[in-house]
Structure 1
Amino acid sequence: MNLSLFPTEPTFRDRLAARLRALAAEGIYVGTSSWKYPGWLDQVYTPERYFTRGRFSQKKFESECLSEFSEIFPTVCGDFTFYQFPSPEYWQRLFASAQPSLQFAFKVPEEITVREWPTHLRYGARGGLENESFLNADLFQSAFLGALEPYRNRVGVLVFEFGMLPKRHYGDVEPFAADLDAFLEKLPPGWRYSVEIRNREFFDERYFRVLRSRNVAHVFNSWTRMPELRNQLAEPAAQTADFLVARAQLKPGRTFEQAVEKFQPYREIQEEYPPAREGLKEILERAHKQNTLSFLFVSNRLEGNAPGTIAAVTGAEEE
């Protein structure tokens, strides 16, 4: 037996996993937006686990890496659901591929939250047309919640992400708040719901009042056209539920496309953004002091490498 006289230093992965486990034990779940990033190999992921016949297999990596991810992170936000209503078979495969302890957040499909279809090639002939399924509670329940029901205890929170809503549909926060209230009223209990807005002008007491009345969380978000995280946190009325949700995606002023071009393949932090880090730390402190169940998610598009950002914010770098 070859025993070293000197203990080995914990790896980045080990330090991060230990810190995130400790936070999760307090009910503070910190994770990333999505997980299938080859750029995280040798940082989060072990390349050899995805070898087939002595070579790295992208297919094996994409189908199996969630299991290794959940050995480190206690939660993850599934952004993919924004673009589809997953089938029962898909849900079964997904949940079977992760450790049972992993808590998921899922974006609700855009079929529910898009008022007018973007004029983008992906939307084909629908581009520019109004979405007839906007805020359709029956469709949400039958096509999304129904298939997800068997895994309810593994779903930490659901996110209704509303992209920029044009003034021709909502000239003011009042009609949006009224439509949102009517929609939320129809939703079944037993799930944690949260709302993420992209219209800066909707960050208003009338919007907060609707969420508060339904115990629905406002998602504190760092995004292109939204106020800084700390500015959102400075508004007491913005904490609208008995749980907290935050998503740090983009530096204000930077578009998604610009961030992708600048940061991919997301191997390392390329540009620290202190205001977002300070905001995330403030949320962690608030969650700890209030003993509040919390879900915080960080995107690669914020600084270039979400695990690195999370390590810095949670103190895992120092352990």
Structure 2
Amino acid sequence: MRLHVGCAMWTLASWRGRLIPHPLPPGERLRAYASWCDAVEGNTTFYATPSVETVASWAEQTSPDFRFLPKLPKAVTHEHRLTGGDEEMRAFLAAMEPLGPRAHALWVQLPASFGPGDLGALAAFLRRLPRSHRPAVEVRHRAFFEDDRAGRMLERVLAAADAEWVPFDTVTMFVAPPTSDAERDAWLRKPRLPRRSRALTDRPIVRYLGRDDVDRTVEGWRHWVDVTAAWLREGRSPTVFVHTPDNADALTLARRFHDEVRAVVPEVEPLPEPVPAEPPTLF
């Protein structure tokens, strides 16, 4: 029984020397991260498609059961709104090929303006995707969360493609006013949407945003501990990504989330032991 957890990135300045060994060459940073977590979001591919050689390095640094969630290029999802960008999509799929089974799902993050009237474009796009790739779709239009008919229509489109609906839970972020610069930035930029926790497939994916205060973050994820435990008991294989506005403690928080679920469902496999940030001393 496997629960995968991860963060929004695999390298962050505030982790270096404190959680992750430093200095490390670029070709070793993901390997160090993978000793902490067994999944990671692929946000950078939204802005630029990496070379095949770079992606091959990612694969070399991780085990076959590590999970990547590479995000489709901005040109495909936001500029062409799924009705063009074929060249960019072909280049993206070719670049991701070295990941093999590590490419857990292709992350189709859609703009907030992509609403129920655009579902035809989404359905056509999902039909064109190679069956070797499983899509995971994140929507941000409020109608999908507040209008039952719109939500059911989206679910039908996703079910036809065996695609998952990825919730981005920001409820904890907006419970109380921000108290740090990073929280103030998140307050302005992150979507304010109702929480959604219904899985459509056997591999649900959750993105959870807490606060820079650890206790608030942990309190806010209680719902997801219960939901994740229930999914595991149903035979599903979930992946949960833990964010905070500054992400300074995201690595330790992701492991803590895993520990809390494992306390409820002891059959869940443990995570690996992290690589020490500092070499052992003689005394």
TM beyond 0.5: yes
Distance 1:303 1:147 in 2: 28
Residues 5 and 240 in structure 2, CA contact (< 8 A), matched pair in contact too: yes
Q: Which amino acid aligns with 2:123?
A: D
User: Bigger shift: 36-45 or 214-223?
Assistant: 36-45
Q: 2:234 aligns with which of 286, 290, 303?
A: 290
Matches within 5 A, 1:231-270: 232-233=196-197, 238-249=198-209, 269=213
Deviations 1:178-218 (A, max 9, x none): 21111111111022210011222223111111111211000
Deviations 1:4-30 (A, max 9, x none): xxxxxxxxxxxxxxxxxxxxxx13211
Corresponding residue for residue 13 of structure 2: 38
Q: C-alpha displacement at 1:175, in angstroms?
A: 1.5
TM-score, L = length of structure 1 = 0.66
Q: C-alpha displacement at 1:62, in angstroms?
A: 4.2
Question: Structure 2: 5+ residue runs without aligned partners?
Answer: 146-150, 171-189, 264-269, 271-283
Matches within 5 A, 1:184-195: 184-195=126-137
The number of residue pairs the alignment matches comes to 239
Distance 1:140 1:293 in 2: 31
Corresponding residue for residue 278 of structure 2: none
Corresponding residue for residue 158 of structure 1: 106
Residues 72 and 108 in structure 2, CA contact (< 8 A), matched pair in contact too: yes
Corresponding residue for residue 227 of structure 1: 193
Q: 1:213 to 1:302 in 2, by over 3 A?
A: farther
The alignment yields a C-alpha RMSD, in angstroms, of: 2.8
Residues 160 and 195 in structure 1, CA contact (< 8 A), matched pair in contact too: yes
3-state SS of the aligned residue for 2:168? strand
Q: 1:39 to 1:304 in 2, by over 3 A?
A: closer
Residues 68 and 105 in structure 2, CA contact (< 8 A), matched pair in contact too: yes
TM-score, L = length of structure 2 = 0.74
The higher relative CO (CA closer than 8 Å, separation ≥ 6) is in 2
Corresponding residue for residue 138 of structure 2: 196
Largest Rg, 1 or 2: 1
Distance 1:303 1:85 in 2: 24
Distance 1:152 1:307 in 2: 25
Deviations 1:194-252 (A, max 9, x none): 001122222311111111121100002124334343xx12xxxx42223201111366x
Q: 2:249 aligns with which of 305, 308, 316?
A: 305
